[in-house]
Amino acid sequence: METEKTEHPEFTKLIDLAAGRLGGKALACSDDFFAEMGNLLKPGRGIFIADKYTDRGKWMDGWESRRKRVPGHDWCIIELGASGVIRGLDIDTNFFLGNHPPYASVEVCNRPKNVNGHSELSAADFQLTEWTELLRKSPLGAGRQNFFEIENDKIWTHLRLNIFPDGGVARLKVYGEVFKDWSLVKADEVIDLAAAVNGGKSVLCNDMFFSHMDNLIMPGRGMNMGDGWETKRNRTHNNRDWVIVKLAHQGTIHKIVVDTCHFKGNYPDSCILEGLNLDNGIPFDLSSADLASPDLTWVEILPKVKLSADAEHFFEKEIVQHGPFTHVRLSIFPDGGVSRLRLFGNAKGNA
């Protein structure tokens, strides 16, 4: 069974605010008889196993409601893993060919977080919440990624995906920019300046053949060897692979964690970390291509250190320059995989 491949628009380079690994949650839906709503937020595009069935019918890797025999439509409410501005949507019907929804729309709202750090809606709240239309009712193609660019600069915490009238969606990706109120972060508060949930972003690397650079700054430790940044084997003498991370906020770095979790026969031999401060007369939003320019002067933060397999490596006393920095470049020698990079420090300029 083949599904259609679609060219990816520019907004797909942004972070997926709804991703389960970022903390996104499917809170409720009208119906998920055939396939659970939580599948919407899993990584990738979903798979198809021809001979796999459940006691309710064909197993599908997505969210699928039963065939509707009454008026109305199905819906699913999602809490974003991080609040932010939404720039684009991917409503992916991968492998849903005779059972995809012909149309979909998306609504959003902004709900303050509770003491547990979540802004979950109760069943009663669903009826009381004022939803704002983000994507009007739009046609969906079968077995394909359906991309929609969004022009809205407001901050959102929740999303409601409506499908008309029923059917299956493999994945929902909500691409955008994380919003964090830095005025609430105290000057002496220790925070992971690289973390995606705080607004950090992997912006450029020389190689990510086996797994994506975005994995480096996701929450938690890697789930498996695919949940990290891994380059291909390089046979060039003295090779150096690298990745550049734009920090969530300009800040000083006091503790570094380089985690090679799950990388055993393919971890890097060693690494260094360098920093750049683009808040002094140079645009902070320098393009990704410009960050590779040899004219930029990178400052050594962590001198070259040895790494070991499947382990967290902690560095504090080894740090030679604390910043402030706006970007960091992690270089690994000669190649290999790193699961996570943590940069704990203080955001500069907060009261």
Weakly modelled stretches of the chain, pLDDT under 50: 282-284, 351
Residues sharing a CB contact under 8 Å with residue 7, sequence separation 6 or more, in sequence order = none
Cis-peptide into 334, omega within 30 deg: yes
What pLDDT does residue 116 have?
59
What pLDDT does residue 296 have?
87
Domains and CATH numbers, the chain: 10-178 (2.60.120.260), 186-347 (2.60.120.260)
Cα separation, 147 vs 173, in Å, equals 9
Q: H or E element: which one contains 77?
A: strand 74-92
Q: What value, to the nearest 5°, has the Cα angle with vertex 86 and ends 84 and 345?
A: 30
Cα separation, 207 vs 269, in Å, equals 17
Quickly list H helices, the chain.
123-128
Q: What value, to the nearest 5°, has the Cα angle with vertex 315 and ends 314 and 320?
A: 170
Supply 319's token pair: 């740090």
What pLDDT does residue 351 have?
38
Cα separation, 136 vs 89, in Å, equals 12
Q: Give the side-chain half-sphere CA count within 13 A for 137.
A: 9
Q: Give the side-chain half-sphere CA count within 13 A for 129.
A: 22
Buried b (16+ CB within 10 A) or exposed e, 144-178: bbbbbebeeeebbbbbbbbbbbbbbbbbbbbbbbb
pTM of the model: 0.89
Beta bridge partners of 341: 258
Q: How big is the chain, counted in residues?
A: 351
What pLDDT does residue 129 have?
84
